[in-house]
Amino acid sequence: MKKVMLVIIVISLIAAIGFSDDPREVAVGSRVNQSFQSEYKNLSKTMEAAGSLSDVKKYLSEWAGSHKYALYSDAYDNVVISKSASAGFEKEKSTILHCALSLDQVEKRTKSIATALFVLANAENHGALELLLTADKAGDMQGVQKINGQYLMADRLINLDNQKENTITTASAGISDYYLTRKIRWVAPTCKTAYEITIDGLDVSNSGFLEGENPAPNAIKALVGIVSGAKGAGVKLELAALNGGNSITAPPSVATMTVLVSDGDSSRFTERVSAAREKYLDTSAEANPGLTYEFTEVPLPAKVISEEDFASITSLLVMAPDGARQAGVDGALVSVSTLGTVSTHTGIFSAGINARSLTADTAEDLAETIKSICWLSGMACTENEISPVTSNDDGLARELSALLEEGLGDASAIEKSLQESEWAVLKNRNPGLSAASMCTSGDKPLNAAKALLRFLNSMSF
């Protein structure tokens, strides 16, 4: 099956390349095409059969040796292949080509790394050139954090792992996690009827929420909205439990709440929940085929959260930022906040908010907002900065974009990303780098390779 897939991929690559009618360009194009295919096919066999990164590192070592390039590897499975500047071009700018080294998403990884190897082997008339492959094991970012800093000493860094075709990324979000806590006082219940409300089966597998596209309203906020509205209408409630979310970095796929209602308010509360359930399913069921919204009566718990703590929790979660923020006349996305987790099952209330911003000012505003809400709600707040805002002069991106479009027919957008990215970590480790990220794992990796060679003043296509 793997051999069949390899043949299909290679055929697809051939079909995507295209040729000129000029006999000279046809001859050059044929040689380039064959060289790229060979690079891809050889690496693909290794990647498909690899049991660990050691197998890929062995292939890369042999490849570097056959080209007489220097190779460095470390205990973290990072690999660096260095090619000296061309004679007479020693004073030209130095360039790092960067890819993640991983055995997940093998086809995409293979295209990116094969493109880098092809460029390294065919580049002419260039400054010092380096291929940096940083190990990515389950997204732990250890490779980019541990690579020896001496291998980041260059003028430019071009990451080849962008997931969006025809897009050059020049900035990466500043990311912070906020952990909000409050010690709970538990008391005996006074209400006599208990209900459990559970929203489950939300699809949070993609990263659409980072582009302002949520598959459904936040489940935690939806549950809190019910009790907040009911209390505001005079319904007597007590909170026994509120839990939801598996990760601070994504919207919750499930949230559940146990509330107690006074006998005289049960019918009013039931009507409110039914209306909220119908509205939630109407707006969210189509995008979430596995969505369920359950409302059931349950046994009376032995204790509930005190009224003061209940009010504090409700206040916090109603005001907590969650979702996208646009700014400017074009409504560009500048930040995304995610209320990802909430818990009372340990006996202490805790919640987690992930905040991503594309500007330092927006990041500061978000931090002040979250901390102010915590203060107003009587919550402790701990901030954990994951990465600072990473931005660049767009000059490098504009040059790459122009080369992709000029003669190759690929118009490229220049964007900023709210995704956490490895290249941004490298840029932050060496702020002097001019950095950008482009896609080489799409349908036309050879076009990306041609653009890179043109960028390095190596060949004319």
| 256 strand-pairing partners | 198, 243
Task: Report the C-alpha gap between 12 and 7 in whole angstroms.
Answer: 9
Within 13 Å and on the Cβ side, how many CA atoms surround 295?
15
Q: At what angle do helices 23-49 and 2-17 cross, to 10 degrees?
A: 160
Most confident of 3-12, 20-29, 226-235: 226-235
The pairing of strands 156-159 and 434-437 is parallel
Task: Report which of residues 181 and 452 the model is more confident about.
Answer: 181
- Determine what percent of the chain falls in helix, strand and coil, rounding each to the nearest 5: 40, 25, 35
If we measure between CA atoms, which residue out of 392, 438, 331 comes closest to residue 111? 438
One-letter amino acid of 123: A
Which residues, at least 6 apart from 404, have a Cβ–Cβ distance to it below 8 Å?
Answer: 166, 410, 411, 412, 438, 447, 448, 451
From-to residues of CATH 3.30.70.360 in the chain: 175-387
The one-character DSSP state at 249 is T
Quote the tokens at residue 318.
Answer: 């109603």
Q: Which fold has domain 2-173+390-455?
A: Aminopeptidase (3.40.630)
Say what the pTM is. 0.80
**Rounded Cα–Cα distance for residues 71 and 69 (Å):** 6
Tens of pLDDT, residue by residue over 247-279, are 998 899 999 999 999 989 999 999 999 999 999
Q: CB–CB of 370/320 below 8 Å?
A: yes
Identity of the amino acid at 434: S
**114-169 residue pLDDT tens:** 999 999 999 999 999 999 999 987 667 889 999 999 999 999 999 999 888 888 88
Q: What is the DSSP string of 253-269?
A: S-EEEEEEE-GGGHHHH
Dihedral through CA 272, CA 256, CA 179, CA 370, nearest 10?
-10
CATH 3.30.70.360 fits 175-387, yes or no: yes
Residue ranges, CATH 3.40.630.10, the chain: 2-173+390-455
